């Protein structure tokens, strides 16, 4: 399973949503793979690691890039 998490969302941003997911009591749900989706580059790598996201993809992205990230994460 994987979550493609947009960083900029209206009510709760992707960082806060990821933090809430990582804080869940159920370890299986809390450890789900999360890939950040963003068009912004400022402080991205530092920030996604702080909240526990597994990787990121810049928008717009194509299916080849997405599959490459999923393959990399699955290998780990």
| Contact yes or no for 59/39 (Cβ under 8 A) | yes
One digit per residue, pLDDT tens: the chain, 76 residues? 899 999 999 999 999 999 999 999 999 999 999 999 988 777 778 888 889 999 989 889 999 999 999 998 888 7
Contacts of 17-23 with C-beta under 8 Å, sequence gap 24+, read: 18/51, 18/52, 18/53, 19/51, 19/52, 22/51, 22/52
| Contact yes or no for 53/35 (Cβ under 8 A) | yes
- The pTM of the full predicted model, rounded to 2 decimals, is 0.84
Domains annotated for the chain, with CATH where assigned, are 2-75 (3.40.50.2300)
């Amino acid at each position: 399973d994987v979550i493609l998490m947009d960083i900029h969302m209206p009510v709760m941003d992707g960082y806060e949503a990821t933090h809430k997911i990582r804080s869940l009591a159920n370890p299986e749900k809390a450890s789900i793979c999360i890939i950040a989706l963003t068009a912004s580059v400022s402080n991205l790598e530092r920030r996604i690691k702080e909240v526990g996201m597994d990787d990121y993809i810049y928008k717009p992205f194509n299916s080849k890039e997405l599959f490459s990230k999923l393959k990399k994460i699955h290998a780990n």
